[in-house]
Structure 1
Amino acid sequence: MITRDPRAFVEFARGLAPDFGPACARAAFLVAPDGFALAEQSASDNAYMDLSVAVDPARASAQHRGLQSALAQDLPVVCFPGDPAAPDGLFPNNVFATGPGRLLVGRMRHPVRQREAERPDIRGFFSGLLGYEEIDLRRQPGVCELTGSAVIDRARGLAFAGLGERCDEAGARALHAALGLRGTLLFDLAAGEYHTNVVMSVLAGRALVVAPSGFADRAVADALAEIYAPHVLVLAPAQKAAFAGNCIALRPDRVRMSAAGAAALSAGQRTGLADAGFELAPVPLDEIEKAGGSLRCCVAEIY
């Protein structure tokens, strides 16, 4: 099913067992923020970036190493070197995504990000070392910045694709087909939003973190909450701006979120995560967040 009808999608999703695949990745990879800088092209449609802000490359690198060290407590983590000519390269989940035995290469909107998809080391790691089939979505119509543009429930085989500057319907359909998903819900992001994974996250297939202000139609966010109730954290706009929605569960009992995002949560929301079976494990990333993304954006999952 690929639809824009949230009610039809909820009824479809409710009938699915969480048996599509593992809810959490088996490994992950990062790309170091070598030559950390703000990309002017990306700032043109990323409201979370401010080009007037000074950045500290050494501090960004230190925080990124801290992130790798933290994530290594959850699962195996590989880190590839960065490329100063590709300043957004530290957010590889927009360019690369995986399914069992396959590597997807995304079709990026901005030229400064399109060069990331050419990296022979990352592509060779999957094709040559792991023997994954490469599916290059750049050869197909549409724009889709993969797991930035679409949040995927791996347990049920569902995608939630927010349409905007960086994802259109053709791109979302290509992602759906490449991962062999059961269902994809298409919806419009609110004006000024660039990626779905900033406004929502599905945690290990059993909980939802969602910021209704990030949706053009709040009814879509309300419908999604029905799928994951009672384990739903509804974020206020200020919490979304602190990147509380840009979180990820890389193991079934732990949620990784930036320190700023975690600090923005209320006591009740923290209790809600605990009731859903999750330990909240923050990582300081405020320097990296100046580039308009946060923890989940840095993590490319390996399935």
Structure 2
Amino acid sequence: MFKRAPLHLATSLLLATSTWQAQATEGGISSWPMGIELYGMGILPPPGTYGQLFVGNYLADSLRDNSGDKAADIDLRVTTLVPRFVWVTEQKVFGGDLGFHALLPLNDMRLNVKGGPHDHKRGIGDAHLGPVIGFHPTDKLHIATGVDFVLPTASEYDKDDLINLGNHYYTVQGVLAMTYLDPAGLNADVRLMYDYNFENKATDYQSGRELHADYTLGWGLGNGWVLGVGGHAYQQVSDDKCSAGDCAAAALVEASDGNRGRSFSIGPAVQYSSKQGWMFSAKWQDESGVRNRAEGQTYWFKFTTPL
């Protein structure tokens, strides 16, 4: 279970007639870095304390409009380090194990618009935390559900900047994750998420509600290794809104059909689980079918160990 650990891809650039317009971080960003989760995403481990480290690198060279056409040539690079701590208690809730998690991303972001402006920022992103309940119906089937909260803790925010380290608004995310794990057979995971975004008080802008999922599918080799594929599917299910009557983004949101985002990614994924209890996984994913967002490729690495 993870919260949009940090890829705050602040690339809300829209092409209006022949003029570039930068809208802070609203358009084209989510509180969750799509596809960050890998194998075992529905498994809450036994009671104890665990540490995880995610390392991600996102590269994008284009921004897609509401029709999927290229709206801009860009050079976007986002590198993120995400330490995450998980505490699983002895407490039972509805027959499941109660746990809590928290993470704080460290982001390095660079954006260059071809023939236009550029920006670079480095620092703390938005914190993610929340409770989770884990169930183990069988020795191979595992389920985890919870609510995550994204807090606007980024080290700096300026609505007039091209990129920002955080979104500057709160997000509540409902989560349901499931894992089927066979060390010498089929491995399948999905993490379903529904996001409600509150208004950004600095811009009077409210991003729409979002439905998305991370997934992996692989085959266990019986020696700790799992090989397969993984990625994400994303669909924004309600329009962006701008509450102030003089909101500069209102006309652009309406013209782009609510600025609803969409994307899908897939790529190879691998995991190794040691007999000592630590795990390492890696994934590369390529995006397609993108609407109102940047389109690119992501590398994810994940390391988990008991503390």
Give your verdict on TM over 0.5: no
Provide TM-score, normalisation by structure 1.
Answer: 0.27
Q: Higher strand share goes to which structure?
A: 2
Which structure is richer in relative contact order (CA contacts within 8 A, separation 6 or more)? Answer: 1
Q: Higher helix share goes to which structure?
A: 1
Larger radius of gyration: 2
